[in-house]
A and B are shown apart, each in its own frame.
Chain A
Amino acid sequence: MKQGLYKITENVSIAKDIMRMTLCGDTSAITAPGQFVNIKLDGFYLRRPISICDYDDNSITLIYKIVGEGTQALSEMDDGVELDLLVGLGNGYDVSKSGEKPLLIGGGVGVPPLYNLCKKLVGLGKEPTVILGFNSAQDVFYEEQFKALGAKVLVTTADGSHGIKGFVTDAMKDVEYSYFFTCGPMPMFKAIEATAKTSGQYSFEERMGCGFGACMGCSCKTKYGNKRICKDGPVLEREEIVW
């Protein structure tokens, strides 16, 4: 984990209530896809944890949904503003277990961390399939970006206004896969858990205090003992999760 000031170079809307922010600064603390940053915002006490969508040697891309006052304030920030970030938080996804045909399943604002994961998997010579689930066509983002990485992409919308009508699990039925990685809301996780045929990794969301393992605000029980979503997670393996 590193603390530093990161300059906003982009902060734009890419779908309904969905923003993409790119920040410039030291990314050396990021060790795996699926990690997150914790952002200090003026006028708010606690930092805001946001998953890392993508990064390179000196920039970080975040995709976030405007859900409350903190993310609303974040969405109104201009290019050039410097933000105090804790970077490289959480364990992230372990790509070594993917097999040859990993399946990546993202639901709504759970999609972003899968982007860098997909990039890493393609880089390792894997053939990922990506299922992106949204409520409606206006919520869809990053379909083309995942395709551009070389992944097979299936999009589902609950109302059928774009792609396959239904949920991510409807699209999973016809996909052959060696392993899965997922991030999204709890009802989606439970549906995946009921249908998935292989091992996999789930990335969890929880209200956090610190984001780096100090306060025990985001603890959960696992088959291997208590874990902190922020430090020992957010990614847990299917085998250890207590549902």
Chain B
Amino acid sequence: MVNTKVSLSGWELDNPVIPASGTFGYGYEFAELYDINCLGTFSFKGTTKEPRFGNPTPRIAECPAGMINSVGLQNPGVDAVINEELPKLAKCFDKKVIANVSGFSIDEYAYTCELLDKQEQVGLLEVNVSCPNVHNGGMSFGTDPECAAAVTKAVKAVTTKPVYIKLTPNVTDIVSVAKACEQAGADGISMINTLLGMRIDLRTKKPVIANKMGGFSGSAILPVAVRMIYQVYEAVNIPIIGMGGVGSAHDVIELMLAGASAVQVGAANLVDPFICKKIIEDLPKEMEKYNIDDLSKIIGGAHNG
């Protein structure tokens, strides 16, 4: 009998598999398909202070081994999330969730986090300083170590639950951003968000996405995620939630060996709505195949020796 339990800042998860923000809504869509209580937990749709419609369509483009999205943080706003989405989720999910938060100013991040921190259903806060699809917000905070640290400090000052900062790979040196967050008091790092990409339609000779650029995700980005998690694991002492192109139990183990304490599954949910359930079911077999008894013992295993 293998042990798939892992923990994030003292929060024990039955397994490390976590649907990533923006690919799982507020959970109840998937609860119609299977019992989502099998998940480690999940990270809900990126939430902002005010409701947002997001970007114009088309928001989606096909890519080799992946996709580009430019949704632009569509969400009903933090009040509706607390008053409508979380009560709906409570009916189909018994575990705590990860509250994913975005903002357009440091005050906004702090405001939204403070409200969500008070919700019993929230296990930890994942602060997205890495959304590539909005102007004057999101990624602009995550590309500069000082800005990322300022957001971290502001959020930590008004919250009690673990705060994980979700980082963008669209930087020259992700390690310096991760270290700045750690020094500012972050309890963990979530990485990586999508890579900025673009597709052009040869018929129209224009970008496919209305907003021109968007976030590239899917299996193609797995090696980038492995490399960056590996680098950041060497530089910080706080846990990492790894993500980027994960689509199998094999990928989950690979990211954990690189240094992830838990692993999020993003774009793969959109292609196969049952993928997280399948990964969780496959995980014990995959562990046995590689002589792994206890998943939490392999975190960062690729760094030894």
Query: How near does chain A come to B54, taking the closest CB pair, in angstroms?
Result: 6
Q: Complex formed: what's the CA distance from A159 to B115 in Å?
A: 61
Q: If A46-B270, A210-B270 touch, does A217 touch B62 (CB 8 Å cutoff)?
A: no
Q: Is A198 an interface residue (CB 8 A)?
A: no
A3 partner residues in chain B, CB cutoff 8 A: 272-274
Q: Complex formed: what's the CA distance from A206 to B69 in Å?
A: 14
Q: Complex formed: what's the CA distance from A216 to B51 in Å?
A: 14
Check B273 against A218 for contact (C-beta < 8 Å).
Answer: no
Check A208 against B60 for contact (C-beta < 8 Å).
Answer: yes
A86 partner residues in chain B, CB cutoff 8 A: 273
User: Which of chain B's residues 31-72 have a Cβ closer than 8 Å to chain A?
Assistant: 32-33, 45, 53-54, 57-67, 69, 71
Check A45 against B63 for contact (C-beta < 8 Å).
Answer: yes
B 58-100 to A, binary, CB cutoff 8 A, 1 in contact else 0? 1111111111010100100000000000000000000000000
B 2-29 to A, binary, CB cutoff 8 A, 1 in contact else 0? 0000000000000000000011110001
A contacts with B: majority SS: loop
Q: Is B271 an interface residue (CB 8 A)?
A: yes
Q: Complex formed: what's the CA distance from A44 to B267 in Å?
A: 13
A206 partner residues in chain B, CB cutoff 8 A: 57-58
Segment with Cβ contacts to B, from A53-61, A99-107, A132-140, A219-227: A219-227
A 8-43 to B, binary, CB cutoff 8 A, 1 in contact else 0? 000000000000000000000000000000001000
Query: How near does chain A come to B63, taking the closest CB pair, in angstroms?
Result: 6
Query: How near does chain A come to B53, taking the closest CB pair, in angstroms?
Result: 6
Check A212 against B273 for contact (C-beta < 8 Å).
Answer: yes
Q: Complex formed: what's the CA distance from A228 to B71 in Å?
A: 12
A44 partner residues in chain B, CB cutoff 8 A: 62
Check B65 against A45 for contact (C-beta < 8 Å).
Answer: yes
Q: Complex formed: what's the CA distance from A136 to B123 in Å?
A: 60
What total of A-B pairs shows CB separation below 8 Å?
90
Q: Is A209 an interface residue (CB 8 A)?
A: yes
Q: Complex formed: what's the CA distance from A1 to B31 in Å?
A: 12
Query: Contact check: which of B24, B54, B208, B271 meets A45 at CB < 8 Å?
Result: B271
Q: Complex formed: what's the CA distance from A174 to B138 in Å?
A: 55
Most chain B CB within 10 A, of A40, A209, A212, A226, is at A209
Check B22 against A215 for contact (C-beta < 8 Å).
Answer: yes
Interface size class of A (residues with CB under 8 A): 20 to 34
Check B60 against A218 for contact (C-beta < 8 Å).
Answer: yes
Q: Is B218 an interface residue (CB 8 A)?
A: yes
Q: Is A207 an interface residue (CB 8 A)?
A: yes
B59 partner residues in chain A, CB cutoff 8 A: 207, 209, 216-219
Question: Which residue from chain A places its CB closest to the CB of B202 in the assembled complex?
Answer: A68
B65 partner residues in chain A, CB cutoff 8 A: 45
Query: Contact check: which of B22, B32, B54, B271 meets A47 at CB < 8 Å?
Result: B271
Q: Is A166 an interface residue (CB 8 A)?
A: no
Check B54 against A210 for contact (C-beta < 8 Å).
Answer: no
Q: If A46-B67, A207-B58 touch, does A214 touch B24 (CB 8 Å cutoff)?
A: yes
Q: Complex formed: what's the CA distance from A188 to B69 in Å?
A: 28
Query: How near does chain B come to A108, taking the closest CB pair, in angstroms?
Result: 16
User: Which of chain A's residues 169-213 have a Cβ closer than 8 Å to chain B?
Assistant: 206-210, 212-213
Check A214 against B23 for contact (C-beta < 8 Å).
Answer: yes
Check A216 against B62 for contact (C-beta < 8 Å).
Answer: no
Q: Is A160 an interface residue (CB 8 A)?
A: no
Q: Complex formed: what's the CA distance from A218 to B71 in Å?
A: 9
Q: Complex formed: what's the CA distance from A45 to B65 in Å?
A: 5
Q: If A45-B66, A217-B59, A219-B54 touch, does A212 touch B29 (CB 8 Å cutoff)?
A: yes
Query: How near does chain A come to B200, taking the closest CB pair, in angstroms?
Result: 13
Q: Complex formed: what's the CA distance from A219 to B25 in Å?
A: 13
Q: If A215-B22, A215-B23, A217-B60 touch, does A1 touch B33 (CB 8 Å cutoff)?
A: yes
Check A214 against B74 for contact (C-beta < 8 Å).
Answer: no
Can you list 13 pairs linking A and B with CB atoms under 8 Å apart?
A: A3-B272, A44-B62, A45-B65, A207-B60, A208-B60, A213-B29, A214-B25, A214-B269, A215-B22, A216-B22, A216-B25, A220-B57, A226-B53
A positions within 8 Å CB-CB of B:
1, 3, 40, 44-47, 70, 86, 206-210, 212-221, 226, 231
Task: Sort A-B residue pairs by CB-CB distance and give the 5 closest, nearest first.
Answer: A210-B270, A217-B60, A207-B58, A216-B74, A209-B60
B positions within 8 Å CB-CB of A:
22-25, 29-30, 32-33, 45, 53-54, 57-67, 69, 71, 74, 208, 218-219, 267, 269-274
Given A212-B29, A214-B273, 13 more pairs with CB closer than 8 A: A45-B219, A45-B267, A70-B62, A207-B61, A214-B270, A216-B45, A216-B74, A217-B60, A219-B53, A219-B57, A219-B71, A219-B74, A226-B74
